[in-house]
């Protein structure tokens, strides 16, 4: 049976998936850590799902690259999946053709806010550059558009961030994928980043307002497309076993 691990930052993003797949909460990760785990089976796929959990003092969801790195490491070490899916929400540019609720698959994942002009390979190290070959094939089979998924630790963007983001053809700005890609690369495990747009960063509304207004819709669209992805993976796993 193919083992799939899904890593989702916020409980709001994961809720439709957990419900649709009938996953139940497990205690696979040390209770000292904030991550929460869920498990179940879908068709011929064994599914684990990890969310980052919440901050014990502030009560908000843990977001950004630190919790993502931790969740990814715990997930890869505990579940040894054949494939990692990082499902989440993102910002995008209307000028580049994106709309609220659009769902993309990352063909490349990079950091956009790690600038290390120290010479040698530090600049390239800062950017990171994770090409997702298996994701590109899956996107083609699903008829989903592909993007460059750009990771940083701020929901808003500075003018420098914006200039860097605009260099990419199609951009999904989010806060976790490159950290997960870094861990997945150590474990040599393929990664599919699937991202649903909550906010258009070049609209007249604030990113925070658009994010709050569209989180439920984007999470629902994300769930529908993740399910199509799982259907395809189940079919491929059946064919491989035959």
Q: Are 222 and 87 in contact (CB under 8 A)?
A: yes
Check binding of 175 to ligand ADE (CB under 6 A).
yes
Spatial CB neighbours of 141, under 8 Å, sequence gap ≥ 6: 232
Q: How far apart are CA 210 and CA 189, in angstroms?
A: 34
Catalytic residue among 74, 107, 199, 225: 199
Active-site residue flag, 199: yes
Check binding of 198 to ligand ADE (CB under 6 A).
yes
Binders of ligand ADE in range 49-78 (CB under 6 A): none
Q: Are 185 and 130 in contact (CB under 8 A)?
A: yes
Give the one residue of 116, 136, 155, 217 binding ligand ADE; rule: CB under 6 A.
155
Q: What is the 3-state secondary structure (H, E, C) of 90-126?
A: EEECHHHCCCCCCEEEEEEEEECCCCCCCCCCHHHHH
- Residues 202, 64, 218, CA angle at the centre, nearest 5°? 50
Active-site residue flag, 13: yes
Q: With contacts defined by CB under 6 A, name the span among 28-36, 84-92, 160-168, 182-190 that binds ligand ADE.
A: 84-92
Check binding of 173 to ligand ADE (CB under 6 A).
yes
Catalytic residue among 13, 107, 176, 225: 13
Active site residues: 13, 199
Give contact residues for ligand ADE (rule: CB under 6 A). Answer: 89-91, 155, 173-175, 198-199, 201, 207, 211
């Amino acid at each position: 049976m193919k083992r799939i691990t899904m890593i989702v930052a916020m409980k709001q993003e994961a809720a439709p998936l957990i419900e649709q797949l009938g996953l139940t909460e497990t205690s696979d990760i040390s209770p000292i850590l904030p991550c929460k785990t869920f498990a179940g089976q879908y068709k011929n796929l064994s599914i684990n799902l990890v969310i980052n959990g919440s901050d014990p003092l502030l009560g908000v969801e843990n977001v950004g690259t630190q919790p993502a790195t931790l969740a990814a490491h715990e997930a890869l070490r505990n579940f040894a999946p054949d494939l990692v899916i990082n499902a989440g929400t993102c910002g995008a540019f209307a000028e580049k053709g994106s709309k609220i609720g659009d769902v993309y698959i990352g063909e490349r994942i990079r950091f956009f806010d790690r600038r290390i002009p120290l010479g040698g390979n530090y600049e390239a190290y800062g950017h990171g550059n994770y090409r997702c070959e298996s994701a590109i094939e899956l996107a083609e089979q699903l008829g989903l558009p592909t993007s460059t998924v750009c990771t940083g630790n701020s929901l808003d963007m500075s003018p420098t961030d914006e200039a860097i983001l605009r260099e990419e053809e199609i951009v999904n700005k989010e806060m976790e994928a490159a950290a997960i890609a870094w861990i997945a690369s150590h474990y040599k495990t393929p990664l599919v980043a699937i991202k649903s747009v909550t906010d258009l960063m070049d609209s007249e509304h604030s990113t925070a307002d658009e994010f709050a207004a569209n989180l439920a819709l984007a999470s629902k669209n994300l769930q529908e497309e993740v399910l199509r992805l799982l259907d395809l993976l189940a079919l491929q796993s059946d064919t491989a076993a035959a």
